[in-house]
Structure 1
Amino acid sequence: MQEKDNRQKLLNRFGIIPNDTGIKRRLRIHQGWWRMNVLNEEPGTHPMDTKKNVCNTINNGDINRKNFLTPNTIKAVESTIAERQITGAGLLEQDRLYNNLLSSQPLCFNFFGELKADTNFGLKVLQNWWPDLTALKKVIFEYAPEERYTADNSAFDIAFEVAIGNKSGLIGLECKYTDTFSSTVYDKTAYLNIFEQSNSFNSTYDDLKASKYNQLFRNQLLAEALLQNKIYDFVKTGLFCYQQDISAIKTAQELQKMLTDPDSFNVITYSDFIEKVQRLDLDWEKREWCMLLWARYCGTVLSDAVNKQIEGK
């Protein structure tokens, strides 16, 4: 009876847990644990039903900025929003950004805001995967060219303007946490036009635009359009995702094989990123940021006790 009462008290404090399964449920509970025990915040409003709460959200994140790990992350958010108000390019859903702990939008800022604040450091980080880079010029969140080459809202979740010697380039990544790739098959005349002018694919247009690959394929088309319009001398692409998201990793690796240059596409996991950053010569501030990344996004062992009690194990 005492155990049952304790579990109910925890559930009341924890907030509503949607009916997820597998990794998504475990990570949602982990973010609920982070909210409850690290942020010391009440569960926030459910995005679909304002009469309910949900464990992985907070309220007033636009004021308290608690969804972000460091001051540099907050600066990256503020400067990006200011830029979007001028250009209008690149979509930012501000409620998700400020209040949803499970969203990949704040995750992206938490992982890459420090690279924006210190591009010399950022270059060292990126050289783990692209060793030929000689400069990191700019870090851009939700990169979408104003020209709308693909005639849609396609964007890289994170992009890095870089250089190799006197050649300028862009690295554009899709960032995933628990969200799946869109199952909608988007198809536009602009897609086919870009595809037909490209020699970067070794699969058919129909294969590439299939629902399984459509989202990553549209990123590739954006990369091709930037090259075809001579915006950059080279463009690299990839997927940044949770290390246990086997489905996303498999899909990305399959798409990688559909490219004539598979090395132009990288799959980078959170654990791989953190491990490689930790091997750099870091000051304490950056090392602490790295540990916070692990605790927030990878360290589910920290929330195991709460998870077991919630799940009645």
Structure 2
Amino acid sequence: MTIREFTQKCREQQGKYRERMGEPMGVGPHLKNGTPQINMLVDGDKTGKNFVNEFTFNYAKGRVEKKQLHETIDEYRLFNNMLSSQPMAFNLFCPFIQMLEQGRGDIVSNIFQNIFPDKYISEVSKVGLEYLETKIENYLNDNTAMDAIVRYKDTDGKPAFIAIETKYTDVLGENTSRKGDVRYDEWIKRIGMFKPETEAELLKSAEAAKDKNKKLDGMKVVTQIYRNFLLAECYGIKQGAHRCYSVVLAPAQHPTTEKEVASLRNELKPEFQNKISAISLEDFITKTLEVCPDEDKAPFEYFKNRYFE
């Protein structure tokens, strides 16, 4: 299945779900000069129909109201585009945020232990969405953000986290930044996790990319999956994390995810290859429902019904 075919399949699925809700068709991808699309809602910022529950809707409104300068939250897309991975991430992770706020962290910890048995999770302390440190100059100095971050105490009693990239129909970007002040080269050298030949190629392209007049044809560039990984690792260093991992979360049938993850993993030294992995959304939900108390299953059943069935 091509990415175009996969996207169309998902678009039709969201269109049918919109119809089942009795919601009219909106325009997209933007309100201005948009065209009618079956996956678009009307006035989602008022109806909240793109979200699993009232808590998630209110969380989304709060994030829009308090949007920081470097955050890439698109209000219209978040509230109205049923095909977007951004509201999908909110629908998946906000129920965990809600449980933590209710003082039910033991349930959240149990669920994430079941999802990620190899990540040494002892106690989940916080779940965040669209996470980007305010002082971006201390990190990559670009707008790369973590779609979701799961902070926890590991089995050694020390701080750890999982940085998660969520995808629905998205393909991770193949381009690199051409800004002259990004810090990719510094962090590539500092983490020291890439194979020597890969590190040399990345440093060469990162330096060349700062000059917009230079062509990068044939170079191994710092693509989105590399940027996501670098952000997680430099954040881990800055925050003193004992462990940190990068995970790509996507539908099982997504055509490019396996290739994207391999494009990074194969360039890491063997001892660091376990720091990047992928899990399907289907497995994530299945493992959640396996241990989630019956009274808390509703938002995850919603997710399953909307995105898989």
Indicate the TM-score class for this superposition, using the shorter chain for normalisation: 0.7 to 0.9
In structure 1, which of residues 215, 220, 225 is the aligned counterpart of residue 229 of structure 2? 220
- Specify the alignment match of 1:53 in structure 2: 36
2:132 and 2:52 map into 1 onto residues whose CA distance is 25
Identity, in percent, stands at 24
Maintained 8 Å contact 2:11/2:38: yes
> Distance between the aligned counterparts of 1:150 and 1:113, measured in 2?
27
Q: Does 1:64 align with 2:50?
A: no
Deviates more, 1:275-284 or 1:54-63: 275-284
**Partners in 2 of 1:211 and 1:238 — Cα distance?**
22
Instruction: Identify the structure with bigger relative contact order (alpha carbons < 8 Å, sequence gap 6+).
Output: 2
What residue is the counterpart of 2:256 in the other structure?
247
Give the secondary-structure state (helix, strand or coil) at the position aligned to 1:170: strand
CA contact (8 A) 1:143 1:159 kept: yes
State the partner residue of 2:301.
Answer: 291
**Shift, 1:291, TM fit:** 2.0
**Alignment-derived partner of residue 265 in structure 1:** 276
Helix, strand or coil: the match of 2:126? strand
Matches of 1:204 and 1:44 in 2, distance apart? 46
| Paired letter, 1:194 | W
- Report the Cα offset of residue 26 of structure 1: 0.8
Q: Which residue of 2 aligns with 1:178?
A: 169
Task: Return the letter of the residue paired with 1:124.
Answer: N
Change (3 A) 1:226 1:281: closer
State the match for 1:90 in structure 2. 71
Partner of 2:210: none
Cα distance in 2 between the residues matched to 1:104 and 1:51: 19
Q: CA deviation at 1:211?
A: 7.3
Measured after TM superposition, the shift of residue 23 of structure 1 is: 0.6
Q: 1:94 to 1:289 in 2, by over 3 A?
A: same
Deviation at 1:288, TM superposition (A): 2.5
The residue aligned with 2:145 is: 155
Partner in structure 2 of residue 7 of structure 1: none
**What is the correspondence of 1:1-313 to structure 2 with a 5 Å cutoff?**
21-37=4-20, 39-48=21-30, 50=33, 52-82=35-65, 84-85=66-67, 87-88=68-69, 90-119=71-100, 120=105, 121-127=107-113, 128-129=115-116, 130-148=118-136, 149-164=139-154, 165-186=156-177, 189-202=182-195, 204-205=198-199, 206=201, 214-260=223-269, 261-284=272-295, 286-299=296-309
> Judging changes above 3 Å, is the alpha-carbon distance between structure 1 residues 51 and 117 closer, same or farther for their aligned structure 2 residues?
closer
TM-score (normalised: structure 1): 0.80
Amino acid in the other structure paired with 2:41: I
Pick closer, same or farther for the CA change 1:213–1:27 going to 2, 3 Å: farther
Structure 1 distance, partners of 2:144, 2:87, is: 19
Gaps in structure 1 of 5+ consecutive residues: 1-19, 300-313
